[in-house]
Chains A and B, each alone.
Chain A
Amino acid sequence: MGQSTLTAPSDTLARPRVSAGSTLRVLLAVARKEWIIFTRYPTWVIAIIVWPVIFPLGYIFTAKALGGPNGASLHAFERLAGTSDYISYIVMGTVMWMWLNMTLWDIGFHLREEQMRGTLESNWLCPVPRLLMMMGASLAKLSTSFIFLILTVIEFRLVFGVSLVRGNVPLLLAVVLLTMPSIYGIGVMFASLVIRFREANAMVFLVRGLVSVFCGITYPLAVLPVWMHGVAQFIPITYAIRDTRAAALSNASFAQVAPDLAKLGAFAVVLPVLGCLAFAYTERRARRTGSLAQY
């Protein structure tokens, strides 16, 4: 061991000097840690570069095949979707779906990963609110998602010559920003459920399956049976996909999508609150049952 001596333990240091600055530093430290670990697995970086282009291709070629020569059979699609630009239409939906999917995997499995690594307890031993740590992790995932969205826009411009940022750009940004709290609220709820049940694959598959069917990621909702419309209206991604398409492809105004924006706003309040409640329940339950140390 080294020869230098340590500072003697101090009772004054036993009191945390918590300030807005130190709280912000905690938030950023968690985000930075997550980001560093993320970048130290290079295959993940490759995945977020390749995936945005690969994933929608299957749908695009299916649409091309169904559209027939020179898009002769696209009239029905155009009548229901309000646009004949099926590539942009599909990409808008798949990007939103991939964003939700990434969030469910990344944030939803964040606590579980910490638990399996053995670091969850050492984090929860620190004198900071545990929700703050969760928010820090979400911040890191948000930056990853942001890079993913930027890469998607660039790649589609280069590969397909399709510009995704067009039409009413302020509305497009407003929809994306208004969707964020809902998606991260769902993510935090998932993170809590994963700690509770210690197995989330089935739930993630269920949710993304529901979203892909009910929210119209590659087709207009008009083709769905009526009862499915009823379900779709309780999923925020439905409005997010519909409004990004309306803003980018149909140059819709704020007034035209105002009812949808109001619903997205309501989801943006309710879902994060539900996420926090689920997290608080999970934290309390973990303290009672000792499930933190269980794999």
Chain B
Amino acid sequence: MAEEIVRVEDLRKLFPRKVRREGAKPWTRVIPGRGSVTEPFVAVDGVSFEIRRGEIFGLLGPNGAGKTTTIRMLSTLLEPTSGSATINGYDIRKQTSLVRQSLGAVLTGERSIYWKLTGRENLEYFATLYHMPPRTAKQRIQELLERLDLAHRADEYVERYSSGMKQRIAIAKALLANPPVLLLDEPTIGLDPQSARNLRELVLEVRSEGRTILLTTHYMEEADLLSDRVGIIDSGRIIALDTPERLKGSLRQLDVMKLELHDYDPALDGVLASIPAVENVVSSPAGNDGAWYVSLHARDTRAVLPSVIELVGSRSGRITNLQVAQPTLEDVFIAHTGKQLRD
């Protein structure tokens, strides 16, 4: 078998979108041909990557970047507009059934299972949909329930489970047919910190069994912790792709200064960016109490620090915390896009 178990080449997805015709009155209804035109919205714009067998590949990007659309195309739920992809050697356009048999996917998290069935009934149902013989299915289900610490609650309705347990049942469902590839779309979203940590451990364990995992996330810590390689995606394009260490290493010539301020005026971003040796400045509110975070990338922190303190002090707010930090994947994203992941 080829080293690469997932191959994606120049995948594109366009959705038709009705927009108001130029010059149309603001109250005109958006009806095709009358006051509106249909324009393509590019959700995924020529994405290419390969995933090696046994690798965890993270797609990191903000909401609306094209992560979920990509994963839905790979899982055969969406038809690509152009481009190609194979999973386990099977074409996602022409061999949809074989692709689906090669995949375990958790796309809608805890909503992907039936809450009015018990955990065991859910697994029995989906095992049948994977054409598993009843005896094999029974054995496999018990194995998964024990492995995921769900055996003691297996005969309770899923609606009584915690979010973490529901997510584990969804993962058990994805693992039922013993697929070589697992697709996880934002697997820890909505989970409490403890459940999220447990789930990340589980993902690493599943990988150690030889499975290949493609996960999407907008949590840069998650992508950093779990992924062997990360593709950073924004506006439907992969803008950087490498191991987390190499991606962060690409910024080593830059220092990352993290400031916490009170009563900051974001209009100052441009002024700070005009300081010689400053490459990027991105600010965001830290809460409702007037606190702000500012990330500043500079070639020489020592040289720019006095100017930064003076500018902020004289024009806007006061600095409550300042540190020079190691670059994170978020800094990589900022360096490529000039905006933050949460934007």
Which A positions have Cβ atoms within 8 angstroms of B?
Answer: 1-2, 4-11, 13-19, 22, 25-26, 29-30, 32-33, 36-37, 40-41, 117-119, 121-128, 133, 287-290, 292-293
Quick one: given A117-B111, A119-B111, are A9 and B211 in contact (CB under 8 Å)?
Answer: yes
- The residue of chain A having its C-beta at the shortest distance from the C-beta of B126 within the complex is A126
CB contacts (< 8 Å) of B105 on chain A: these are 122, 125
CB contacts (< 8 Å) of B146 on chain A: these are 2, 4
- Contact call A122/B173, Cβ cutoff below 8 A: yes
- The residue of chain A having its C-beta at the shortest distance from the C-beta of B212 within the complex is A9
- Contact call A11/B117, Cβ cutoff below 8 A: no
- The residue of chain B having its C-beta at the shortest distance from the C-beta of A288 within the complex is B79
Q: Does B277 contact A (CB under 8 A)?
A: no
Quick one: given A14-B102, A16-B131, A125-B77, are A1 and B177 in contact (CB under 8 Å)?
Answer: no
B window 96-130: CB within 8 A of A? 97-98, 100-103, 105, 107-108, 111-117, 121, 124-126, 128-130
* Measured CA separation A25–B140 after assembly (Å): 17
> Which of B22-30, B198-206, B315-323 lies at the interface with chain A?
B198-206
- Contact call B209/A5, Cβ cutoff below 8 A: yes
Q: Does B305 contact A (CB under 8 A)?
A: no
Name the contact of B149 in the complex, choosing from A2, A9, A14, A15 (C-beta under 8 A).
A2
B window 300-341: CB within 8 A of A? none
Nearest Cβ in chain B — how far from A198, in angstroms?
16
- Contact call A126/B143, Cβ cutoff below 8 A: no
CB contacts (< 8 Å) of B97 on chain A: these are 16, 127
- Contact call A9/B173, Cβ cutoff below 8 A: no
Nearest Cβ in chain B — how far from A290, in angstroms?
5
* Measured CA separation A84–B149 after assembly (Å): 68
Nearest Cβ in chain B — how far from A189, in angstroms?
23
CB contacts (< 8 Å) of A14 on chain B: these are 88, 98, 101-102, 177, 179-180
Q: Does B291 contact A (CB under 8 A)?
A: no
CB contacts (< 8 Å) of B175 on chain A: these are 6
* Measured CA separation A131–B1 after assembly (Å): 33
Name the contact of B117 in the complex, choosing from A16, A37, A287 (C-beta under 8 A).
A37
Name the contact of B125 in the complex, choosing from A33, A124, A287, A292 (C-beta under 8 A).
A33
- Contact call A15/B79, Cβ cutoff below 8 A: no
13 contacts between A and B (CB under 8 A): A8-B209, A9-B210, A11-B180, A14-B102, A15-B101, A16-B101, A22-B133, A26-B128, A26-B131, A118-B112, A122-B126, A122-B170, A293-B72
CB contacts (< 8 Å) of A121 on chain B: these are 77, 107-108, 112
Nearest Cβ in chain B — how far from A55, in angstroms?
27
- Contact call B78/A36, Cβ cutoff below 8 A: no
Nearest Cβ in chain B — how far from A91, in angstroms?
33
- Contact call B147/A123, Cβ cutoff below 8 A: no
* Measured CA separation A9–B131 after assembly (Å): 17
What is the number of residues of chain B that contact chain A, defined by CB distance less than 8 Å? 61
Quick one: given A17-B131, A33-B114, are A9 and B209 in contact (CB under 8 Å)?
Answer: yes
- Contact call B178/A13, Cβ cutoff below 8 A: yes
Q: Does B75 contact A (CB under 8 A)?
A: yes
Nearest Cβ in chain B — how far from A280, in angstroms?
14
Q: Does B240 contact A (CB under 8 A)?
A: no
Q: Does B86 contact A (CB under 8 A)?
A: no
* Measured CA separation A17–B136 after assembly (Å): 12
Q: Does B148 contact A (CB under 8 A)?
A: yes
Name the contact of B128 in the complex, choosing from A10, A11, A25 (C-beta under 8 A).
A25
Nearest Cβ in chain A — how far from B115, in angstroms?
8
* Measured CA separation A293–B131 after assembly (Å): 25
Nearest Cβ in chain B — how far from A292, in angstroms?
6
CB contacts (< 8 Å) of B134 on chain A: these are 25
Name the contact of A37 in the complex, choosing from B116, B140, B151, B198 (C-beta under 8 A).
B116
CB contacts (< 8 Å) of A30 on chain B: these are 125
- The residue of chain A having its C-beta at the shortest distance from the C-beta of B54 within the complex is A9
Name the contact of A1 in the complex, choosing from B88, B101, B149 (C-beta under 8 A).
B149
- Contact call B78/A126, Cβ cutoff below 8 A: no
- Contact call A9/B143, Cβ cutoff below 8 A: no
Q: Does B69 contact A (CB under 8 A)?
A: yes
Nearest Cβ in chain B — how far from A80, in angstroms?
48
Quick one: given A9-B180, A36-B117, are A123 and B129 in contact (CB under 8 Å)?
Answer: yes
CB contacts (< 8 Å) of A126 on chain B: these are 100, 126, 129-130
CB contacts (< 8 Å) of B129 on chain A: these are 26, 29, 123, 126-128, 133
- Contact call A7/B143, Cβ cutoff below 8 A: yes
Nearest Cβ in chain A — how far from B79, in angstroms?
4
- Contact call A290/B78, Cβ cutoff below 8 A: yes
- Contact call B147/A2, Cβ cutoff below 8 A: yes
- The residue of chain B having its C-beta at the shortest distance from the C-beta of A28 within the complex is B128
Name the contact of A125 in the complex, choosing from B75, B121, B140 (C-beta under 8 A).
B75
- Contact call A7/B178, Cβ cutoff below 8 A: yes
